[in-house]
Structure 1
Amino acid sequence: MSAYSPPSPNQLGTGWTTTSLGGLKMPLYLAFIWHMHQPYYKDPISGKYLLPWLRLHAVKDYLHMAEILSQYPQIKVTINLVPSLLSQLLDYLKGEAVDPAMELGFREEWPEAEKEYILTHFFSINHERFIARHPRYQLLLELRPYVRQAPNLFSSAYFRDLAVWFNLAWTDPNKLESDPFLRALVEKGGNFSLEDFGKLMEKHREIMAGIIPLYRELEAKGQVELATSPFYHPILPLLINTENAHRASPWLTLPSLAFSHPEDAEEQIRRAIEFHCTLFGHEPVGLWPPEGAICPELIPILARRGLSWLATDEAILARTLNLNLDRDSEGHLKSPEILYQPYKIQIDGKSLTALFRDRFLSDRIGFVYQYMDGYEAARDLVNRLLAIKDRLPKDRPYLVTIILDGENCWEHYEHNGDVFLHNLYRMLSEEPEIECVRVKDFLERFPPQETLTDIATGSWINGNLETWIGEEAQNQAWEALAQVREDLVNWQKNYPLADLETLERAWECIYRAEGSDWFWWYYSRNVSEQEQIFDQAFRGHLSGVYTSLGLPIPEWLSYPILRAAIVVERAPSGFISPRLTASPQAPSDWAKAGYVKGSIGGAMRPSSQLLNGLYYGYDPGTLYLRVETSEPIGFIPLSVYFVSPSADKVNWQFRHLDERVETANGFAWALEISPHEPKAVLFKAEGQEVWHPVREIHNLACSEKALEIAIPLNYLGLEIGDTLGLILVGEKGGVLERLPPSGVITFTLREKF
């Protein structure tokens, strides 16, 4: 690995100014990279779109982000547009895309299965921010449990209104307030007609039609740099060789059928550059590798294709330099000059520039500021940037890089992020100490002064590739991809005169199946009620290879790819009344407790797994839990959800998440743990996804990687003889982890053992 050498005073970039005292004076440069991405939802056989998220994010976020930016000409940013997103957007504009939220909205009647689909999916938006603000939509949500019990007792008006409201709520709230038709539709509230829905879809197409022209305009004005990603958003190091996953995680069990096709990685990049050039009139100079995943072999490929910069995560820089990027208690880097500069990477005679994102600041936008007042959140970020400037040496220009998804977090913010973004852009426009820049502009003025001769392999999630490979289901998916690709290559050898159009269709299906999202949703820690649809989409792309060649689809592709099983190590074997010490190792007090962990496809547990284990036990009056983690508990929000068959009211989703969790009885209680204070807050389910805080629990102990808590059974309305179920949930960096990975730990509070 390359060693980091501190900058010398004479290594000054151009553009510095001097004060009258002879000192150096320059603003802190700030590069926002907003990453816009959607997987390829179009089924190659039916031609239908399996999910509506591209259209819905287009009408809520993609135009919205550009329109806000256009009001602040001093704010310059880089926007990364994945070609698979843009190509699907063009399908919608040509009238060639039909998704379920469109198709079902045009129906007069719905069979029972479609009614259940509507009830399950058409509330999939932040309830507090987007449903509660519309009384009629909120009423539809409150009626959902009753409709589920007797769907045929409710008229078609309920389902028509729900179809309209789902699509309406996913529309930029500024449009709902300013557009006469949309405002009238909101005011109407209900009893919508087919004509109303049809006009709403026309309005969606009108909004989508403005996206690409506005991005072109902002780029032409010099306010935006448009970067790209490989066409279908694959994890490039794994396309190059799945063995690359072992570099960061040597314990992983990898697929039995290896996948090693650097030519596919290069083709995904070539297609992206060609598509970008066709759409925007020039080749991009920058690339965001999907999920920030890079490896040394990637650098020459990108350089050969004429790209000059890429970006990834600070964890990759830390591993490359073999050091820790330590932060103080406020989150400020102790050696900020290491991260806040570009680096030249030179490998095999090829080179390009790399930027490394500040994960802490990026995650504050992605996951923290949504809980704060928009003005205060913007002020916090600006103050942190000013603190960074004060801590940096005055020897060169420095660049802070903030990178995150440009669409996913805003539904959790007030008014779709408007309050935060307007305040942030205004404050930055007025702050002389900070200058927002496009990446290419900064690099033209200030080329990198440090060179790396190697780069670590990994991604922006924990610095490794475990999110996309290593578990049983993920490995099955990689093996399926490898097998189908091999079948295609063999067919091509046997039919050398096959027409190019047939081969193009077949290879296109392979490239689509290489996208990262399919493997993301096979990961046991990523839970969604739509994961079966993603599995269907992945297998659909592989099946499309055979239909393109006129071959029968192998029977094995008709079977879903299974998740890894839950491993329950043991059930409770006797009463326990442990002292709460949170010692690093569970003492003998917990010997008779139950214990559970998640299976990782037979591999050793990776060090980045957040939840290492859960002990659970009880005595006649108290439930005891012990949580063990692989990372400091203070950085992992923890919750425990309780299932009680005798509960009078239940909720079906985790708090703050619109994800229906499949349990037989729903959640009666939720316990949210704050180890810093230390305390836990117990919430009671009131139904309709409403949670009411009922009491605080202070009887807990917490150490760096262990937490123990005692919960009186009567707090949960339980006594000996009752049955209890529970799920432990942890979250870090946007990754949700459950223990167990699926299902519920269920046990009876026995009187005797």
Structure 2
Amino acid sequence: MESRPLYVAILWHMHQPPYNLKSRNLLVLPWVRLHALKDYYVMAAYVDETPGFKCTINMVPSLVEQILLYEKEETKDYFFVLSEKPAHELTLDERAFILLNFFAINVERNIKPYPFYYQLYKKRGKIADMEEARLAAYSFTDEEFLDLQVWFNLVWFGRSLKGNPKIRALIEKGCSFTEEEKNFVLSVERDHIRKIIPLLKRLQESGNIEITTSPYNHPILPLLCDTRIAQTSDPTTSLPQKNFHYPEDAVEQVSRAIEYHKRVFGREPKGVWPPEASVSESTLAILADASLKWFATDEDIFRKSIELSMGGASESFLSRIENFYRPYRFHRKGKEIIGFFRDKRLSNKISFDYWALKGEEAVQDLINSLKNIRQRLPDDGSDYIVPIVMDGENAWEYFEENGEPFLKALHLALSDDPKLKPITFSEFLETKNPRLEHLARVFPGSWIKTNFKTWIGQAEKNKAWEMLEKVRSDIERYRGMENWESAYERVLRAEASDWFWWYGSENPTAFASEFDYLFRNHLKDAYIELGLEPIRELEETILSAYLVVPPTRQPTNLFSPTLDGKEAGFYEWSPAGYYEQSKLKRRNLGFESEFVDKVYFGFNLSSLFLRIELCAKRVTEFLTPTRRITIEFVRPENVRLTFSANENGKIECEFFKKAGDRWEGVQNLCRYAALDVIELELPFESLNAKSGDSVLFFVLVNENSKLIERFPSIGFMELIVPNPTFAEDFWYV
């Protein structure tokens, strides 16, 4: 395509769920405030600084509502309350909370660069819960807690705040902060937050950005319409016992979003980002009926929609590159809505890959990819567009300097290249000449594996849907009653996708209990608004006692490896499953593994086998009389295997079982070898584990009796004891 530029439409999606309960002035979690300091203003400011660059910013109403709440002096979150409290007045539990939570940011990019903050991080070490945090708190002075209060806020400051000379001076000072200096840090936060919405509106008026919306509380619209749609996407999805079927709630979430967006930004949105790119026939009809002009979703949804619409002709259609880089018409209920399908590969490179590269290097890779697409497109008189759509707030803490070198280089590169033109989605539809074809059907799914399993199907997720359905049907009986609208609003908040995202094992988080609390209390508030007693089930957590972390790979066959502790023995372990720290790292906020790299697990019919690989040193160099590696089993029985080196350097393994509150040494039934790596065999009978049982375990690294690492940082690894037909069952599946 030589005669025309290739248009590039970038959409940054910004969203947070409703952290404010009935008492609106105290938000349970701080992520709106912290991302407001680090991301929301800065992302818009980069656009403002680059003439000729344009993009689309999606602002979910539940996020916008909370940004505006933070503009008021009385609105705070619990992390802010503990930040402003004089350090010497902090209670023991408050000190423990601070130690547990005030390092909740990427360690490599945002803690290690600041020596005094990193020193506090190392002094704290790895702590797993409030009990351990209380013990650790005794070793910290009031002055150190004051420094930690200041630093946790400072590291969330974006470029514009760090450019403040007084803030820069505090960063350079590094420690021994005063209460007055801390109060100054906290005071500039609210002034900064007040600038976000005005900047977005100004850029909208100048045409530099298009502001789009999502359904108000970011629900998965297809599941609101009918949870049974999950089995249409993936027949293996387990459904809740009671179907949730409230398409009117989906309509309400959309109409409230449009109304609120117009009130805040001064005009109705033309485009919509369906939460998690989730679409279905029902939701497209709702979006079209709301007079929205366009939506965006995922490339894989496009592929499956083409297969649905065209059948046998789809293979030929999908083989032509031009069909991926233009929008499509959908007609529903006599109205038209246009769909864009994001380039999955390029979008995911920004979200998941480019953090590991220098900014200029990453941008050059992206520009080369775009130019390659342009060269392959036909010069047929049509305008083509590459939609790049991704999360606009969570990736940057992994990037160098919070993504500034990458983003500034990206804006300049796209603005300066005559062959590539940045554009908003609406401008492309209104001023360019795409070839618009009609697409008859849309495949129901999301941008995660084209199904809805991230939000439904596991026991915790389904229990949440059952609770939501129960409360929704209960309040429906009181429609028309005074305060019904307020009760209904609480249910709409409980429909946010985030609660279902964090339930189950796919997305472990240190804040699972807070998300669970928010979901249940939004539902409790619905009853309270109507003067009713909340159902008893809402008093009990939905969270399972044990959070199981999905492995990087599951075992594929029975095997019996030779135990020699040598790194070269890796190939013998190819049938094993494993957990890899680099994969777990992106799942957990703050997850950093300095010592354990991989844990392999597998079995034959009588024993389990484990192999522990370290990040750098050989096991014989790492273990000492005071530095130990412990494998702790919590189910079916509490068992510990502790590895250490004696004074002569010989690796020894001790075997313990829990008796009441005490650990007692027992006969060691473990066979092991430790050289480069630890390899071991443990009979299932020593764990009282039978065929089909779930064996849960984790790895600890201790030095001088102090915990310095837990692997995984949250939850447990799991191994299912095989039955005699394991090999046949696996290959049959």
Distance in 2 (CA, whole Å) between partners of 1:552 and 1:261 is 23
* Residue 124 of structure 1 pairs with residue 104 of structure 2: yes
3-state SS of 2:27 partner: coil
Moved more, 102-111 or 209-218: 102-111
Equivalent in the alignment of 1:471? 458
What amino acid is the match of 2:411? Y
2:443 is matched with which residue: 410, 434, 456? 456
| Bigger shift: residues 230-239 or 336-345 | 336-345
Q: SS at the partner of 2:76?
A: coil
Alignment of 1:382-461 (within 5 A): 382-395=367-380, 396-445=382-431, 446=433, 448-461=435-448
Letter in 1 for 2:29: L
Task: Determine if contact 1:45/1:544 at 8 Å carries over to the other structure.
Answer: no
**Cα distance, 1:613 vs. partner?**
3.8
Q: C-alpha distance in 1, partners of 2:136/2:184?
A: 31
Q: In the alignment, residue 532 of structure 2 is paired with which amino acid?
A: L
Deviates more, 1:338-347 or 1:181-190: 181-190
CA distance in 2 between partners of 1:372 and 1:660 (Å): 20
Question: Alpha carbons of 1:399 and 1:661: their partners in 2 closer, same or farther (altered >3 Å)?
Answer: closer
In structure 2, the residue corresponding to 1:312 is in which secondary structure?
Answer: strand
Structure 2 contact 223–229 (Cα < 8 Å) conserved: yes
1:400-428 CA distance string (max 9 Å, x none): 00000111111111111111111111111
User: How far is the alpha carbon of 1:188 from its aligned partner?
Assistant: 2.4
Equivalent of 1:300 in 266, 274, 285: 285
| Alignment equivalent of 2:469, drawn from 482, 487, 512 | 482
1:549 aligns with one of 530, 537, 554: 530
Matches within 5 A, 1:227-626: 227-322=212-307, 335-395=320-380, 396-445=382-431, 446=433, 448-492=435-479, 496=480, 498-499=481-482, 502-563=483-544, 611-613=553-555, 618-622=561-565, 625-626=573-574
Does residue 1:62 correspond to 2:40, yes or no?
yes
Who is 2:143 aligned against?
Answer: 157
Number of the residue aligned with 1:683: 615
- The letter for the 2-side match of 1:50 is V
Q: In the aligned structure 2, how far is the partner of 1:379 from the partner of 1:172?
A: 25
Question: Structure 1 residues 316 and 746, CA, compared in 2 at 3 Å: closer, same or farther?
Answer: closer
Note closer, same or farther for the CA distance 1:411–1:324 as it changes in structure 2 (3 Å cut). Answer: farther
Deviations, residues 552-590 of structure 1 (Å, cap 9, x unaligned): 2222111110349789xxxxxxxxxxxxxxxxxxxxxxx
Aligned position for 1:579? none
Give the Cα separation in 2 of the matches to 1:110 and 1:76.
47
Aligned-partner SS, 1:229: coil
Task: Tell which deviates more after alignment, 254-263 or 717-726.
Answer: 717-726
Corresponding residue for residue 603 of structure 1? none
Structure 1 residue 457: deviation in Å? 0.3
Contact 2:104–2:590 (CA<8 Å) still a contact in 1?
no
738-747 vs 612-621, which moves further: 738-747
Distance 1:314 1:718, change over 3 A: closer
Question: Which amino acid in the other structure matches residue 265 of structure 1?
Answer: A
Is 1:671–2:598 an aligned residue pair?
Answer: yes
- Secondary structure class of the residue paired with 2:11: strand
| Structure 2 counterpart of 1:75 | 53
Shift of 1:486: 0.9
Residues 563/719 of structure 1: CA separation in 2 closer, same or farther (3 Å cut): closer
Quote the residue 1:102 is aligned against.
Answer: 80
Shift of 1:374: 0.8
Q: Tell me, which stretches of 5 or more residues in structure 2 are unaligned? A: 127-131, 311-317, 601-611, 624-671, 687-694, 700-710, 722-733
Q: How has the CA–CA distance of structure 1 residues 295 and 462 changed in structure 2, closer, same or farther, with 3 Å as cutoff? A: same
Give yes or no for contact 2:230–2:453 (8 Å, CA) kept in 1.
yes
Percent identity over the alignment? 37
Secondary structure at the counterpart of residue 72 of structure 1? coil
Q: Quote how far apart the aligned CAs of 1:336 are.
A: 2.0
Change (3 A) 1:742 1:625: farther
Residue type of the partner of 1:49? L
- The CA deviation at 1:134 is 1.1
State the Cα deviation string for residues 65-113 of structure 1 (Å, max 9, x = none): 0111111121111111000000001110022421122111122333333
**Quick check: 2:383–2:435 contact (8 Å CA) kept in 1?**
no
Distance 1:434 1:165 in 2: 41
Amino acid at match of 1:715: D
Aligned length: 615
Match of 1:714 among 672, 675, 696: 675
Q: Which amino acid aligns with 2:114?
A: H
Say whether 1:216 aligns with 2:201.
Answer: yes
* Worse-superposed segment, 303-312 or 347-356: 347-356
Residues 113-152 of structure 1: CA distance to partner in whole angstroms, max 9, x if unpaired?
A: 3222211211111111111111111111111139945422
Residue of structure 2 in register with 1:640 after alignment = 580
Q: What's the offset of the Cα at 1:227?
A: 0.5
Q: CA deviation at 1:280?
A: 1.2
Q: Deviations over 1:376-411 (max 9, x none)?
A: 100110011000000111112111000001111111
**Shift, 1:626, TM fit:** 3.9
- Is the contact between residue 285 and residue 307 of structure 1 (CA under 8 Å) also seen in structure 2? yes
User: Contact (CA 8 Å) 1:529, 1:661: kept in 2 or not?
Assistant: no
SS class of match (1:25): coil
SS for the counterpart of 1:170 is: coil
| Higher mean C-alpha deviation, range 33-42 or range 198-207 | 198-207
Q: 2: distance between equivalents of 1:264 and 1:56?
A: 30
The Cα offsets for residues 168-194 of structure 1, whole Å up to 9 and x where unpaired, read as 100013421x20221122122122233
2-structure distance, mates of 1:266, 1:564 = 36
CA distance in 1, matches of 2:5, 2:164: 40
Equivalents in 1 of 2:716, 2:369: separation in Å? 41
> Which residue number corresponds to residue 609 of structure 2?
none
Q: Is the 8 A contact 1:124 1:658 kept in 2?
A: no
Q: Pick from 174, 188, 203 the counterpart of residue 189 of structure 1.
A: 174
Deviation at 1:349, TM superposition (A): 2.6
- Opposite residue 167 of structure 1, the aligned amino acid is N
SS in 2 for 1:355: strand
- Indicate the residue corresponding to 2:113 in structure 1: 133
TM (norm. structure 1) is: 0.76
Contact map agreement 1:231 1:269 (CA 8 A) in 2: yes
Q: Relative to 1, partners in 2 of residues 1:621 and 1:97: Cα closer, same or farther, differing over 3 Å?
A: same
Cα pair 1:471 1:564 within 8 Å, conserved: no
Alpha-carbon separation, structure 2, partners of 1:215 and 1:305: 24
Aligned equivalent of 1:37, options 5, 12, 15: 15
Distance 1:661 1:56, change over 3 A: closer
Give yes or no for the alignment of 1:91 onto 2:69.
yes
User: TM-score scaled by structure 2?
Assistant: 0.78
State the partner residue of 1:51: 29
Q: SS where residue 79 of structure 1 aligns?
A: strand
Asked whether 1:203 is paired with 2:188, we answer yes
Larger mean Cα displacement after TM superposition, 227-236 or 483-492:
483-492
Alpha-carbon RMSD across the aligned residues, in angstroms, is 3.4
The 3-state SS of whatever aligns with 2:228 is helix
Counterpart residue type for residue 473 of structure 1: E
Distance of 1:720 and 1:240 partners within structure 2: 50
Q: Which amino acid aligns with 1:260?
A: H
Return the offset for 1:24.
Answer: 6.6
Which deviations, in whole Å up to 9, do the C-alpha atoms of 1:505-561 show, x marking residues without a partner? Answer: 211100000000000001311011111110111001001111111222222111110
